[in-house]
Structure 1
Amino acid sequence: MCSKAVILAPVFNRILARFPQQLNFCFAYGSAVKKQLTNDSKDNMIDLIFCVDNSQKWHELNMKQNPSHYSSLKYLGHNFVSKFQENFGAKIYFNTLVPLEGVIVKYGVISTKDSITDLLEWSDLYLAGRLHKPVEILKPTSNSEMQTAVQLNLQSAVHSALLILPESFTEYEFYYTLSNLSYSGDFRMIFGEKKNKVENIVKPQLNSFRQLYTPFLISLSDYVDFPGLKEGNDENSDSLSIVCSQDINPLARLHHLNQLPRWPQKALTRLWNRGSLRQDTEDVLRAIAYDPDCNEIVVKCLNSIVWKSSVSQSVKGIATAGLLKSVQYSSRKVTKMLG
């Protein structure tokens, strides 16, 4: 992730011009931004994430510039909003159903420090999960720590997906597993999201996924074989049938386990010790590497992180959106799910 110039669509330029410009990093994601299989609705909401160095200052400026974006929490002041953002849920503050420049926008604000923590440690797997998929970078970061965190987040996703997958799998299954890391434990997938959401994301963007992850897969050539990368294959349809293989010996699994972020490793240790600290993380990871159910154990621990953050962030969203917008937003989600 570098700080090279980005050519933006006119609508993104106009949208960003409506906000305070103190942004460290900004990207757009979701069905209105990236092609999806069932993306035929013209009124899909544009999802944005703003990473800011100073949340208090940014909200202060934004409340003066865009007071209508906020729920009644704005009356408690920008300091309260900033603390509410940073101390609850996944440490992100969303304003939703905002009409801007002829489109509907939902934007989340998160501090740079909390962004880096989630990307490196997967404390919430919230921002990190969104950046496992191709996104539209609207403002690249010039912060070297943030740049490194974005890359390490992708690397962690590769190690996690390989731990979950069997010895043989298709390239499509690999990208599906990557994308599903932050969805499989999300309680909203039970009711509120289409059951084939991940498939809708992955299939139309196979080339984008390949471009995003090829450097990491090449560096792991001792552990996994991706024939499509060697052949320079560039056709989406082929990724559905290209068979890849990986080393699933305990030492290979231990390598991947050792590369997992801090919070998944903590979750694995807690699960293995059944809540009591009897073995340290190093011993636990070695034991799990030799366990035939290693993949299921990893899935369970990742799901526990996602479940907790998705529930707390959704509850937080009721306050940040306000009751009326919360009902409207939920109705849009249900309509989309059933449509």
Structure 2
Amino acid sequence: MMAVNSLAGQPSLYAKILGMFPQNLSFAFAYGSGVMKQSGASRKSKNMIDLIFAVDSSSLWHAENIRRNPKHYSHLKWFGHNFVANFQEHWGARVYFNTLVPVEGEDVVIKYGIISRQAMEADLLDWCDLYVAGRLHKPVVILKQATNSHLRSALHQNLYSAVHAALLILPETFTETDFYRCIAGLSYSGDFRMTFGEDKNKVVNIVAPQVEAFRSLYAPVVKSLQDYMHMPVLMGEGECCCQDISPSARMYHLNQLPRTPQRAVVRLWNTRGPRRLRQDTEDTLRAISHDPECGNVVETCIRNIVWNSSVKQSVKGIATAGLIKSIVYSWKKIKKMLKASSWKSKD
């Protein structure tokens, strides 16, 4: 199963962008409003193109990239490529971003993030940061397919995890649009930037023009879970969907959650209300599966993971981008938010 949407023949712009960088990439994709259509967004070419590059060795990759593209980096490059790699690996969501990078001969700027393949696999499988994993819950454009079997498996598992989490949060009946909005919203639910700097309707704007892309992305997962959910639209029928919300079904989804949110759910449930007697993970999950507040507990834990990683990564971004670029980038985001709000009010 394909993890995300892929380019059939790379457009010259993407090929040119990839040509700017060291070629030893394990996986690369482009995402965001500069790549995928969003409601209320301006023409895609006017939006910055966001990219993520997974690499086997962050240190070696930065050494070559600093040699090729020293102007992409802030003052941190003067401490050497090993310092840059360590800063990437041990701060924030383990991604190092260079932003507002112009593409020579093109009326476009890019922001690209570097993450080690091992850190990406961990986030995809465990949702320790739900940063890169969350971006890959939505349709993206793959610039370089993953060749490593472990990474391909992690990309595949990340989509299943998103569905299990969404079904725990959603009610017994829902629409196809509700389903995709819930999945797309997992990585935005606790993002502190949503309080100011991002369009409050971002999730709606992402899903509305991309329903077909979401359907293509998640159809194989949904079909494999027919014992737990029914989505008639995949069979050419209506949009009304339903799921089994019995304790046994919830227990199944809870057991399939990635390790970080699953542990957080157990901790939170054991500390809520009167002193809990159940401490064993299996017993606790079974108790949660009978709790009417199960979905709220899961949603709260996912929100906390996103909040933590988004705050740390944003603070980290000030150092990796430099103060001036950080101010320019933040101002662009605010203008975009205000423009989106203005567009919404006119509508």
**For the superposition of Structure 1 and Structure 2, which TM-score range results when normalised by the shorter chain?**
over 0.9
- The residue that corresponds to 2:253 in the other structure is 256
**For 2:153 and 2:211, how far apart are their aligned partners in 1?**
24
Number of aligned residue pairs: give it: 331
Shift of 1:284: 1.4
| Contact 1:159 1:259 (C-alpha < 8 Å) held by counterparts | yes
Pair 1:269 & 2:266 matched: yes
Shift of 1:277: 9.6
Shift of 1:197: 0.4
Q: Which of these residues, 125, 133, 137, is aligned with residue 138 of structure 2? A: 133
- The residue that corresponds to 2:241 in the other structure is 244
| Contact 1:133 1:179 (C-alpha < 8 Å) held by counterparts | yes
Shift of 1:280: 2.1
Deviations 1:172-213 (A, max 9, x none): 000000000000110000111000001111010000000000
SS at match of 2:197: coil
Return the letter of the residue paired with 2:314: S
- The residue that corresponds to 2:342 in the other structure is none
Shift of 1:221: 0.5
- The residue that corresponds to 1:55 in the other structure is 58
Deviations 1:251-303 (A, max 9, x none): 11110000000000111111122299960221111111000011101100000
Return the letter of the residue paired with 2:262: Q
Q: Which of these residues, 213, 220, 226, is aligned with residue 208 of structure 1? A: 213
**For 2:94 and 2:148, how far apart are their aligned partners in 1?**
20
Q: Which of these residues, 25, 29, 32, is aligned with residue 31 of structure 2? A: 29
| Contact 2:3 2:155 (C-alpha < 8 Å) held by counterparts | no
**For 2:283 and 2:317, how far apart are their aligned partners in 1?**
39
**For 1:176 and 1:76, how far apart are their aligned partners in 2?**
43
SS at match of 2:125: helix
Structural mapping, 1:169-318, within 5 Å: 169-231=174-236, 242-274=239-271, 279-318=279-318
- Aligned alpha-carbon RMSD (Å): 1.7
What TM-score do you get using the length of structure 2 for normalisation?
Answer: 0.93
Shift of 1:2: 7.8
| Contact 2:102 2:110 (C-alpha < 8 Å) held by counterparts | yes
Shift of 1:6: 4.6
- The residue that corresponds to 2:337 in the other structure is 337
Structural mapping, 1:116-131, within 5 Å: 116-131=121-136
- The residue that corresponds to 1:93 in the other structure is 96
Shift of 1:8: 0.5
Return the letter of the residue paired with 1:263: T
**For 1:179 and 1:189, how far apart are their aligned partners in 2?**
14
% identical aligned pairs: 58
- The residue that corresponds to 1:77 in the other structure is 80
**For 1:246 and 1:331, how far apart are their aligned partners in 2?**
43
SS at match of 1:273: helix
What TM-score do you get using the length of structure 1 for normalisation?
Answer: 0.95
Pair 1:105 & 2:110 matched: yes
In structure 2, do the counterparts of structure 1 residues 246 and 278 end up closer, same or farther at CA, with 3 Å as the change threshold?
A: closer
> Gapped runs of 5+ residues in structure 2?
340-347
Return the letter of the residue paired with 2:245: I
**For 1:95 and 1:278, how far apart are their aligned partners in 2?**
47
Return the letter of the residue paired with 2:338: L
| Contact 1:254 1:286 (C-alpha < 8 Å) held by counterparts | yes
In structure 2, do the counterparts of structure 1 residues 277 and 266 end up closer, same or farther at CA, with 3 Å as the change threshold?
A: farther
| Contact 2:7 2:143 (C-alpha < 8 Å) held by counterparts | no
Return the letter of the residue paired with 1:337: M
SS at match of 2:28: strand
**For 2:220 and 2:206, how far apart are their aligned partners in 1?**
21
Shift of 1:38: 1.4
- The residue that corresponds to 1:40 in the other structure is 42
**For 1:58 and 1:154, how far apart are their aligned partners in 2?**
28
- The residue that corresponds to 2:162 in the other structure is 157
Give the stretch that moved more between structures: 320-329 or 35-44. Answer: 35-44
- The residue that corresponds to 2:18 in the other structure is 16
> Gapped runs of 5+ residues in structure 1?
234-240
**For 2:59 and 2:8, how far apart are their aligned partners in 1?**
27
Return the letter of the residue paired with 2:269: W
Shift of 1:39: 2.3
**For 1:283 and 1:2, how far apart are their aligned partners in 2?**
33
**For 1:277 and 1:48, how far apart are their aligned partners in 2?**
47
Return the letter of the residue paired with 1:227: P
| Contact 1:96 1:107 (C-alpha < 8 Å) held by counterparts | yes
Deviations 1:219-263 (A, max 9, x none): 1101100001122x6xxxxxxx71100011111111000000000
